[in-house]
Structure 1
């Protein structure tokens, strides 16, 4: 199919983008990597009056690594995150998770702002953003605001970003002593996962001091797993593993669809908890 008719503009500054978004109200769509928007246009699921191409906008394509966070601009490609040596040294989970996304050709076009704004509950980077406690930075003509990743994702393909707002960057915090692992189970490499899990632990003297976890594919948003976190804290990894796996399965609310039942996805999540905790336990030895 061919897309419906639309107007196209390619501004060069954030201010121009914000003016266009303000004028268009709900009638505009942003084009960055186009990996989600173009299929939606071609199938006519999306019918914007205006396409705003932000690929030439100054100030959206940088990565800044500081002592307490990694800030990634909205138009940074996932392939850049995957292969950036400074990112890999500062927050390796970002590079690891990016490597799970689809295929190299897709990662070469997909942007961090695009995958977060698309808000697919099975996607890897939104799940990592929730697990890490990332902050989403938004701008409009009336000002700026920052929201936590947990607040940003509201439902399937739905976020708290307003129509006149532009996602400009994401702050991924760095917490000393916290080690994160991402893993997933899918039909084929590059497919969206049936279930994915990002789990991070801080271990002191053999005991889990803190934990953060979020899952993909088990709810209508990338789901934070506080019961799993609570099951781990104050115990050794080996001692807590089965309770943590049961806790994660208990708080997940996966869909039943053509790919599997809710019980099937809960079982996959249990397996991922065990698998990641085994990896983290080995790293502590």
Structure 2
């Protein structure tokens, strides 16, 4: 199908983009890579009066260091994340998850910020952002504000970004030297996750000093597996320890039942994939 008619705006700075969004009002849409928005427009599930393209705003793209924090521009593509040495060194979990997103064509166009703002509970990048304690910086008419990943995702396809605001950057505390693994289960190649597990661990001398685990598609938003984390920290990195910890993967979850899987099956997958992810990350 063909999208409904709209005005197209291509600002060259973030200030211009915020001003354009403010003028256009709530009927406007912001587009980055367009891999989620364009199908919606073509099906006319959305019919914005104005489309604001962030592709020509250079300040929204790239990866840099800021002390103990990794700063990633919102329009940085999946392909760029996969090949960036800073991401590989300081946020390996994000690279692990990004490698599972769709196919190379999608990864060349899709962006980290676009994926996070889209907030699909089956999306693969929200759980790593949550596990890595990311902060998401949005800019609007009232200035800049930071939102913790734990507060950013509010419900299905719903975030804390307010009308008139644009996601500008993602700030991730450096997890240098942490091992990581993202495990997902899907029915066919390149499909959305039925369940995914993002795990990153700090292991020293065979002991798990710190562990962060988050789940994809086990609730309407990504969710931290706190029970798993608590069961791992301070313990020896053994198969028995990991197996027992993985039994807590479903604590506090609210898995859905749909055409892909029922809630009981998703709960089983969460435990299995958690065990796999932590086992692979610890290298046992």
CA distances 1:60-115 after superposition (whole Å, capped 9, x unpaired): 11210355222111111101111223422333222221110000000000011100
Distance 1:233 1:45, change over 3 A: same
* Correspondence 1:129-144 to 2 at 5 A: 129-144=129-144
Task: Name the counterpart of 2:24.
Answer: 24
Q: Does the 8 A contact of 2:30 with 2:54 survive in 1?
A: yes
- 1:174-213 mapped onto 2 (5 Å cutoff): 174-213=174-213
Matches within 5 A, 1:1-285: 1-238=1-238, 239-282=240-283
Structure 2 Cα separation of the partners of residues 67 and 21 of structure 1: 32
Unaligned runs of 5+ in 1: none
Deviates further, 246-255 or 42-51: 246-255
Q: What count of residue pairs does the alignment treat as equivalent?
A: 283
Shift of 1:36: 0.8
Post-superposition Cα deviations, 1:6-53, rounded to whole Å, max 9, x if no partner, equal 111111111111111222231110111111111111111112111001
Q: 1:133-170: CA deviations, max 9, x gaps?
A: 00101111211100111110001100000111111110
Question: Which shows bigger deviation, 38-47 or 170-179?
Answer: 170-179
Tell me, in whole angstroms, the C-alpha distance in 1 between the residues paired with 2:98 and 2:2.
30
Change (3 A) 1:87 1:33: same
Mapped partners of 2:130, 2:145: distance in 1: 18
Q: Gaps spanning 5+ residues in structure 2: where?
A: none
1:207-248 Cα offsets, whole Å, 9 max, x none, are: 322211111111111111111111212222324223212111
Aligned-pair CA distance for 1:266: 0.8
Cα distance, 1:123 vs structure 2 = 1.0
User: Is residue 11–residue 54 contact of structure 2 (8 Å, CA) maintained in 1?
Assistant: yes
RMSD: 1.5
SS at match of 2:251: helix
Q: CA deviation at 1:176?
A: 4.5
The SS at the match of 2:125 is helix
Q: Distance in 1 between matches of 2:162 and 2:281?
A: 39
SS in 2 for 1:259: coil
CA distance in 1: counterparts of 2:6 and 2:83, whole angstroms: 35
Further displaced range: 103-112 or 246-255: 246-255
TM-score normalised to structure 1 length:
0.94
